[in-house]
Structure 1
Amino acid sequence: MSSANVVVHIVDDEEAVRSSLAFLLDVSGFAVRTHATAQSFLEVAGGIRNGCLVTDLRMPDMDGVELLRRLRASGHMMPSIVVTGHGDVQMAVEAMKNGAIDFIEKPFSNETIVESIRRAVDLATSQVDAEQGRERVRDRLRSLSERERQVLAGVVDGLPNKLIAGELGISPRTVEVYRAALMGKMQARSLAELVRMVMDIDLSALDGPAGAP
């Protein structure tokens, strides 16, 4: 995914701050959306698939730390930058502990905020690309038959063909046949590549029934 597809979401209760930062980012080539309150941002956060966040730390409805906590709790965390005033360093550190990738103290230069946001956008891009890659792997896994998934589980566990065969009640030669078939369906060029593909995916939690053995 191109970084141009990432939307920078600005959350700040001061309209003048939102407008000036949005203008700066727009002329710097970023796609921007502004939010007047943390709550209004939370209401749309679940639908954001390729975004990053710039939030003020102190806001009347909800501070930036609580916003990050709620994003994390709901599973909608994204690369986030917290803007802080003087004396807010301790709270800014708390924001970092809750997932912020950077905090910037006011007053800040245009170059400082733009560079920080560029890093956040690059991170958001890499995260989306990684998730798209995992989804492609899930699609390939769904194409496997039940027996191929069983053989795959044994391979990922590091079991030799003979032991996999014993557990499944089939011959080692049959395991080899299933293994070759699943390697082709998974588009894996080597055993190491196959293991890397699936090591962070729960094979038992895949949607949809597997095909026949």
Structure 2
Amino acid sequence: MSAVVHVVDDDPDVRKALGRLLALDGFEVQLSGSTREFLDRYDPATTACIVLDLSMPGMDGLELQAMLAERGALHPVVFLTGCGDIASSVRAMKAGAIDFLTKPVDVDALLEAVKRGVVMDGNRRHRSHDREDAQALLATLTPRERELVPHLLTGRLNKQIAGDLGIAEKTIKVHRSRIMHKLQIRSLVDLVHFMERVEDDAARTPAPAPAKPARESADC
């Protein structure tokens, strides 16, 4: 499924201009004039980046960002504002926004941020699917086989593991063979890499760009 760029802005002129700009650059774009309109059409299962106005009637951009986070929706967010302040910028970036741009927005900066967001979301989803596949294989192990996995990861010999657990070396050999077969791996190195896939990828998620001080606007 192709990536979608959501543009959420209550100004119809800004919304239309951004939609045209992003469409010309090859993005599939969905335009929403309010957070409610956005939520009505939002599909968290789609690879996407959200271009979000900071100040809107009703639920504002920061509140929408918080709501999505509470729901576990991790789409990258690029904030736009004509009335930004440093406190809002810092709050948005700490909450995971990948950029905070002021209006009138620099076209190149916006396109770069959106492209980065789409790539980040695609990579995150790929890692998530890969992790789910690995967890499904791990679930096929018996409790005894699961118990052996940490021992195998130490690189200890079958004889040493057998001594640690008080069971026959032959039994360890059988379990090791079954573990390798079920996890579709061939070596200790493969097992190490497999367990890395099972772990949460949060620590490997690229950090957001540093917050940029927002210019004060006469329209505030």
Q: Report the counterpart of residue 173 of structure 1 in structure 2.
A: 170
Q: Report the counterpart of residue 108 of structure 1 in structure 2.
A: 105
Structure 1 unaligned blocks of 5 or more: 203-213
- Inter-CA distance 44–182: structure 2 relative to 1 (3 Å threshold): farther
SS across alignment from 1:77: coil
Distance 2:162 2:33 in 1: 61
1:130 equivalent to 2:127? Answer: yes
Amino acid aligned to 1:116: A
Distance 1:110 1:60 in 2: 25
Deviations along 1:78-125, one digit per CA (max 9) or x if unpaired, are 111111224433212210011101111111232221111111111111
Contact 1:12–1:55 (CA<8 Å) still a contact in 2? Answer: yes
SS across alignment from 1:52: strand
Amino acid aligned to 1:24: L
- Inter-CA distance 97–105: structure 2 relative to 1 (3 Å threshold): same
Contact 1:64–1:95 (CA<8 Å) still a contact in 2? Answer: no
Contact 1:11–1:34 (CA<8 Å) still a contact in 2? Answer: yes
Distance 1:91 1:28 in 2: 29
SS across alignment from 2:97: coil
Distance 1:128 1:10 in 2: 21
Q: Report the counterpart of residue 149 of structure 1 in structure 2.
A: 146
Amino acid aligned to 1:101: I
Distance 1:32 1:187 in 2: 41
TM-score by length of 2: 0.77
Percentage of identical aligned residues:
37
1:64 equivalent to 2:61? Answer: yes
What's the offset of the Cα at 1:174? 1.5
One of 8, 13, 16 as aligned partner of 1:16: 13
Task: For 1:196-207, list aligned pairs within 5 A.
Answer: 196-199=193-196, 201=198
Distance 1:100 1:72 in 2: 11
One of 32, 36, 42 as aligned partner of 1:35: 32
1:26 equivalent to 2:29? Answer: no
TM-score by length of 1: 0.79
Distance 1:167 1:126 in 2: 40
List, as ranges, runs of 4+ consecutive aligned residues in structure 1 with deviation greater than 6 Å: none
SS across alignment from 1:33: strand
Deviations along 1:10-31, one digit per CA (max 9) or x if unpaired, are 1112222222211111110111
Question: What is the root-mean-square deviation of aligned Cα atoms in Å?
Answer: 2.6
- Inter-CA distance 32–166: structure 2 relative to 1 (3 Å threshold): farther
Contact 1:49–1:128 (CA<8 Å) still a contact in 2? Answer: no
